[in-house]
Amino acid sequence: MNSGILRIVGWVVALLVGAFYGAAGTVAQAYRLGPVPLGLILATVGSAALLIALRVLTGDRINALAGGFGISAATYLFSQVGPGGSAIVSAPTPGTEWIPVVLTIVGPALMVFVAFWPDFSHLKQQPAVGTGANAAPATTAR
């Protein structure tokens, strides 16, 4: 197969997996364990782990962008009220309005952060001073 076709297939898979994570995070974001927004924390950690894995394992920024776009699109889609007036995700209570707002911001922010993080793999490790073939012999002070 052509490597260009494989890259496009990889982008589509990243988009679909990101949409799955976005849908799961959107549905679970309202779960709280006492005052701790456990659903939001798990959705954020899971989304971050997915995007980091897409970037690191493939070495392609576009995979991270596709996964992040899938997360953001699913979050937007599942947050809307349907044509019949029903919603998949219930409206937040007066004390928890900030949770869906944070989730809406977290997906695109993680996408940008992970996709545009600099690639340090091309940097050559410099040998420590005094090591290597051209190192001067050590002298002792008297």
pLDDT number for residue 102: 87
- What pTM, to 2 d.p., does this model score? 0.78
pLDDT tens, position by position, 29-45: 888 888 898 999 999 99
Q: Where are the domains of the chain?
A: 3-115
Q: H-helix or E-strand containing 40?
A: helix 38-58
Helix (H, G, I), strand (E, B) or coil at 87: strand
Reported as a single tens digit per residue, the pLDDT across 87-112 is 777 777 787 788 888 888 998 999 99
Q: What is the pLDDT of residue 12?
A: 95
Burial of 75 (0-12, 13-18, 19+ CB in 10 A): buried
> What is the C-alpha to C-alpha distance for residues 112 and 94, in angstroms, rounded to an integer?
30
Adjacent-strand bridge partners of 33? 36
